């Protein structure tokens, strides 16, 4: 299967320990000001979506949508993940650009 470019980069960021996943950890990192980009799965529960979107918006952290929890989980080497945060500005910027290209293309 041909993995999208953003997913490969996310995998690299994960190996560099610049990704955290899970709702509680992501919220904590947003509040601490360490999250540079939040990745939220389109199939997250309405409560999770609202909570993460509200936090990201309040703390002015960019948020990008991922197709589903399995795509996001696979990219970071886990089963299924509904939310993840990128803790590195360089990775966040590049991922954001790649995801924008994916959405357009």
pLDDT for residue 93: 97
Residue 105 resides in a domain: no
Residue 91 resides in a domain: yes
Render 50-95 in DSSP notation, one character per residue: HHHHHHHHHTT--EEEES-HHHHHHHTTSS--SEEEE--HHHHHHH
Residue 61 resides in a domain: yes
Tell me the pLDDT of the chain averaged across its residues. Answer: 95
Domain that includes residue 86, residue range = 5-99
Distance CA 62, CA 82 (A): 16
CATH value at residue 51: 3.30.1330.30
**pLDDT level of residue 9 (50, 70, 90 thresholds):** very high
Query: What's the structural domain count of the chain?
Result: 1
Summarize pLDDT for 40-80 with one digit per residue, the tens.
999 999 999 999 999 999 999 999 999 999 999 999 999 99
Residue 5 half-sphere exposure toward CB, CA atoms < 13 A: 12
pLDDT for residue 40: 98
Residue 69 resides in a domain: yes
pTM of the shown model: 0.95
Distance CA 56, CA 17 (A): 21
């Amino acid at each position: 299967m041909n993995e999208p470019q953003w997913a490969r980069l996310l995998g690299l960021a994960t190996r560099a320990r610049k990704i955290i996943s899970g709702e509680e950890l992501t919220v904590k990192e947003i509040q601490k000001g360490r999250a540079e980009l939040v990745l939220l799965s389109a199939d997250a529960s309405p409560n999770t979506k609202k909570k993460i979107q509200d936090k990201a918006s309040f703390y002015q952290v960019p948020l990008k949508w991922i197709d589903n929890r399995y795509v996001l989980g696979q990219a970071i080497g886990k089963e299924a993940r509904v939310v993840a945060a990128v803790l590195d500005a360089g990775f966040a910027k590049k991922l954001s650009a790649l995801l924008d290209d994916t959405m357009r293309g």
